[in-house]
Amino acid sequence: PGATARLTCTLSGGVFSLSDYGIYWYQQKPGSRPRFLLRYKSDSDKQQGSGVPSRFSGSKDASANAGLMLISGLQPEDEADYYCVAGESYIPHSDTRRWGSGTRVTTAHGSWRTMVSGGGSCAEPVLTQPSSVSGSPGERVTISCTGSSSNVGRGDYVSWYQQVPGKAPKFLIYGSNTRPSGVPDRFSGSRSGSSASLTVTGLQVEDEADYYCQSYDSSIDGRTVLQACGEVR
């Protein structure tokens, strides 16, 4: 406690320069969805998450092609997993995007585990997902994500993430129905009105994971939203 932690985010392969991208930092505590901490592209182009103290700060190391986050005055509640994401600064992201509460997908041959929702009495708007769904290998399962006209119903701004326990979230779907390179075509997304869905066709044992939906919310000014979420115990 009281010390300073320095987290480094580097790209493997050196394909492009991080100087052209915003670096997004997320904090995730056990049983909770990821929380946006900050975005940093430059000293003149940065954003602090709602309710995130100034002791969390971002920077870059151009010589190492790396993004950095400093946590000064470490506190016991800072114990968590931290993830970085590199992205275009103009993409509606950060804390103007709402996370779903998470859905645990299990197969008939896997152990049954219930996802603990990070929503509950939290003051921020949370997209509604079923706590869990299950199916046998080879079957098709669908996860719903229900919001409102200001987020899911506003347009194709819905994204889906998969998180295997102990690993970083993996981007599955963006724009409601578009898969990034490398994501199998058995994962598909759709949207109708204020509801979106993720469908997994030909379920496999390795698909057991937590799945989160996320959507841009036009009704929220990310600079002033009060975060009233406590740690889930």
DSSP code per residue over 115-175 = PPPS-TT-SS--BB--SEEEE-TT--EEEEEE--TTTGGGSS-EEEEEE-TTS--EEEEBT
What pTM did the predictor assign? 0.65
pLDDT digits (tens, 9 = 90+) for 177-214: 898 888 999 999 999 999 999 999 999 988 988 898 88
For position 157, what pLDDT does the model report?
78
Nearest to 222 by CA among 85, 97, 122, 45: 97
φ, ψ (nearest 5 deg) of residue 205: -60, -35
Which pLDDT does position 13 carry in this prediction?
59
Q: What is the pLDDT of residues 131-175, one digit of tens each?
A: 888 888 899 999 999 988 888 888 777 889 888 887 878 889 988
Q: Which domains does the chain have, with CATH numbers?
A: 5-91 (2.60.40.10), 98-216 (2.60.40.10)
User: Is pLDDT above 70 for 73?
Assistant: yes
Tokens of 218: 């036009």
How far is 67 from 54, CA to CA, in rounded Å?
17
